[in-house]
Amino acid sequence: MKLRHLTGYAAGQPLKDQALEGRQFSTRATTAFLIILLAIFLLSLRYFYLQIISFEEFTARSINNQVRIVPVAPNRGLIYDRRGRPIAKNLPAYRLELIPEKVDDLEQTIAALGRFIELPDDAGEKFEENRKRYNVFDSVPLKFNLTEEEVARFAVDRHRFTGVDVVSYLARYYPYGDLLTHVLGYVGRLDVDDLKRVDEGNYRGTTHIGKSGIERYYEDVLHGASGVEKIETNSQGRILTTLERINPVHGDDLVLSLDVLVQQAAWNALGDRPGAVVAIDPNDGSVLAMVSKPAFDPNLFVHGISSKDYRAILNAPGRPLFNRTLLGGYEPGSTIKPFVGLAGLELDVITVESQVFSTGQYYLPGVSRPYRDWKKGGHGRVNILGALEQSVNTYFYQLAYDLGIDRFHDYLAQFGFGEPTGLDLLGENSGVLPSRGWKRGRFSEPWYPGETVIAGIGQGFNVVTPIQLANALATLVNGGTRLKPRLLYAAKHAGNEQADKVQAPVALQVPIVDPLNWDLIKSGMRLVVHGEKGTARSIRPESGFEIAGKSGTAQVAAQAANEDMDESTATHLRHHALFIAYAPYDQPSIVVAAVVEHGGGGSREAAPVARAVIDAWLSQELAR
């Protein structure tokens, strides 16, 4: 029993032949060992194949794994005003990036990140759209401009998020906010449409691009040249070391011809009325101020504007998104009179002696409908000087009628009416300088003489933009040299010590028949401010310098000719007030065109705006 227990054999079973079993076992064990040898041999063969035969291939892939070529975005060029005040800066900021390939569940990760960092509802969709332009394993931005609190909160839980990282970068900032929006424009998130207009290779690491204004017009020089970096990363894509680096070339720094103080003066002078002011130096075509009001804060757009903020801007009164200086089409009204007068003198239709008797009503032969003067009972007998000083409509009715629409059109066209000025911003409106051809094309109708008459006082079909008006006056003031106005004053290329001055290109030289004719018009404009009966006597400076100008009123609603505007007229039906001016009279360094929408009379409402701009400019010029 004891034996059976110890050997494990059941009762009745024959005792086994241990020697035979031992031999059998040895055979099997040997067979097994041979199979093992074969298996080890095959396995070794496999390792030989991988490590010796495919060595090169896998070495290359292993290097590829850890070394990545990443683009390095250049720093965007800074923008200054003409006195060197920074108006577009780059400030250090943080953004959240993630590598989609390293993230198991994108949706869930974005939702989880939302607990640390405020993300818009459509962050996921935006991200999906945005990531299309990135390579596999590239880090794609998810949220810009993190607050310090968000950065700190994320840092604590960073280990939980594979493939997600906070990256520092330089964010665009516009210190003057809405003051310069319509000039500078803004940068925004680079999207697929933007890529069509740039060299994609140079924008690999770039996240923002100029969307409007100067930022857009000079995008190619502001952006700079992208660099590359050879970096070693771990499998999480975290950068370990930089192996090689080709530095990016930062974008050109731009100096604009704007003067922030002049801009500010125009902005303040407009108050809360919608309007536009353009000021140009007639000597070089540089733009000194360009205000369109209301405006909006461009900084909102840099980090992706929320739909709430965007709706607020869209629904705000006065259309803040609308750039009135370039796109606003206004009837020039009486501001066109100096140009019409010059046409009359240069084309020998009138002389300084030519006089017209203003009775308050002007009739075309055979037409019973009167064309009115703004002053009941008329201005009496006036020549061109008096006609400008008092803005006598009858004088210009007669002059326009005598010129005829063809000569009227051709002469005024030389001053740039009816075409974009060629300013260095996109989207300029051409306005309308009517002609027979234009009317036929537009309305399929012939030209009527009555239309010539009202064209003489800038009504009817005439449409100008504030920039056009300012540039036309600059042309008149500087002796007929029509320049394409420039906002860009100088550009400093990376590495250069000095900024290169930019010259405004000449669009056209208006032929001068007799310089005295030009002086005559200018002295007429001087009388507008300095004459006894000048319509803008109220803005006459006490001393120091003289201003020349011309007021204008643009009709908004068709109005019976005998109906006068007064304070009781509803604001939105009131006429737009216009004023053009230049100063100093003897040696002009600034021309201004000001429009106050629904302001009513040009002299009363727009002239003080022009005056404020001139003061701001001249006080700085004198201080130099």
Nearer to another protein, 8 or 365 (CB): 8
Show the site string, 11-30: x = touches another protein by CB under 8 A, - = not.
--xx-x-x--xx-xxx-xx-
- The reply to whether 235 sits near another protein by the rule CB under 8 A is yes
Q: Is residue 128 a contact point for another protein (CB under 8 A)?
A: no
Binding flag, residue 564, another protein (CB under 8 A) = no
CB neighbours (10 Å) of residue 355? 15
Nearer residue to another protein within complex by CB, 17 or 149: 17
Per rule CB under 8 A, is residue 233 in the interface with another protein? yes
SS3 306: coil
3-class SS at 97?
strand
CB of 156 vs another protein, minimal distance in Å? 22
- The residue among 29 and 316 lying less far from another protein, judged by its C-beta, is 29
Taking CB under 8 A as the criterion, the residue among 135, 147, 234, 306 binding another protein is: 234
- Six-digit token string for 574: 């009131």
Cβ proximity to another protein: between 128 and 402 the closer is 128
Q: Give least dist CB 150 to another protein, A.
A: 27
Q: Does 52 bind another protein (CB under 8 A)?
A: yes
To the nearest whole angstrom, how small is the minimum distance from the Cβ of residue 31 to another protein?
Answer: 9
| Complex with another protein: residue 137 or 310, whichever CB lies closer | 137
| Closest separation in Å from C-beta 135 to another protein | 13
Q: Is residue 33 at the binding interface for another protein, with CB under 8 A as the rule? A: yes
Nearer to another protein by Cβ, of 4 and 381: the residue is 4
- Of the residues 6, 558, 560, 570, which one makes contact with another protein according to CB under 8 A: 6
Tokens encoding 327:
């796109």
DSSP 1-38: -HHHHHH-PPTTPPPP-HHHHHHHHHHHHHHHHHHHHH
Region of 221-229, 230-238, 268-276, 340-348 interacting with another protein (CB under 8 A): 230-238
Can you state the percent helix, strand and coil of the chain, rounding each to 5?
A: 40, 20, 40
DSSP for 350-393 reads: --TT--EEE-SEE--TT--S-EE-SSTT--EEE-HHHHHHHT-H
Structure token pair of residue 32: 């097994």
Should residue 160 be labelled a site residue for another protein when binding is judged by CB under 8 A? Answer: no
- Binding flag, residue 244, another protein (CB under 8 A): no
Among 1, 2, 369, 568, binds another protein (CB under 8 A): 2
Please say if 334 is a catalytic residue: yes
> Binding of another protein at residue 65 (CB under 8 A)?
yes
Report CA torsion sign: 303, 308, 311, 312.
negative
Which DSSP category does 503 fall into?
P
Segment interacting with another protein, rule: CB under 8 A, options 9-17, 122-130, 174-182, 436-444: 9-17
Contact map string, positions 446 to 485, toward another protein, x by CB under 8 A: ----------------------------------------
- Using rule CB under 8 A, residue 69 touches another protein: no
Q: Alpha-carbon distance 471 to 282, whole Å?
A: 8
* Residue 276: half-sphere exposure toward Cβ, Cα within 13 Å: 27
CA atoms within 13 A on the CB side of 132: 10
Nearer to another protein, 16 or 442 (CB): 16
Provide long-range contacts, Cβ within 8 A and 24+ apart, for 204-210: 204/71, 205/70, 205/71, 205/72, 205/73, 206/73, 206/74, 207/73, 207/95, 207/141, 207/144, 207/169, 208/76, 208/172, 208/302, 210/185, 210/186
What's the DSSP call for residue 587? Answer: S
Out of 257, 292, 334, 358, pick the active-site residue.
Answer: 334
Question: Is residue 103 within the footprint of another protein (CB under 8 A)?
Answer: no
**What would the DSSP string read from start to end of 444-484?**
S----HHHHHHHTTT-TT-BB-HHHHHHHHHHHHTTSEEE-
User: What is the sign, positive or negative, of the torsion defined by CA atoms of 37, 41, 46, 51?
Assistant: positive
Establish if 75 lies at the interface with another protein (CB under 8 A): no
Render the burial of 275-300: b for 16+ CB within 10 Å, e for the rest.
bbbbbbbbbbbbbbbbbbbbbbbbbb
Residues in CB range of 41: below 8 A, 6 or more apart: none
- Does position 44 bind another protein by CB under 8 A? yes
Beta-strand pair 140-143/548-554: unpaired
Minimum Å distance from CB 49 to another protein?
9
Q: Which of 108, 147, 168, 236 binds another protein (CB under 8 A)?
A: 236
Binding flag, residue 34, another protein (CB under 8 A): no
In this structure, the dihedral spanned by the alpha carbons of residues 525, 355, 404 and 377, taken in order and rounded to 10 degrees, is: 80
Residue 148 CB burial class (10 angstroms; 0-12, 13-18, ≥19): exposed
**Should residue 38 be labelled a site residue for another protein when binding is judged by CB under 8 A?**
no
Binding residue for another protein, selected from 1, 8, 105, 623, defined by CB under 8 A? 8
The nearest distance, CB 13 to another protein, in angstroms, is 6
Single out the residue of 59, 351, 503, 571 in contact with another protein (rule: CB under 8 A): 59
Packed helices 123-131 and 106-113: angle between N→C axes, nearest 10 degrees: 130
# binding residues, another protein (CB under 8 A): 51
Near another protein by CB under 8 A: residue from 191, 232, 410, 546: 232
Find the shortest distance in angstroms from Cβ 41 to another protein.
Answer: 9
Report the catalytic residues. Answer: 334
Interacting residues toward another protein by CB under 8 A:
2-3, 5-10, 13-14, 16, 18, 21-22, 24-26, 28-29, 32-33, 36-37, 39-40, 43-44, 46-48, 50-52, 54-55, 57-59, 61-63, 65-66, 101, 136, 232-236, 240
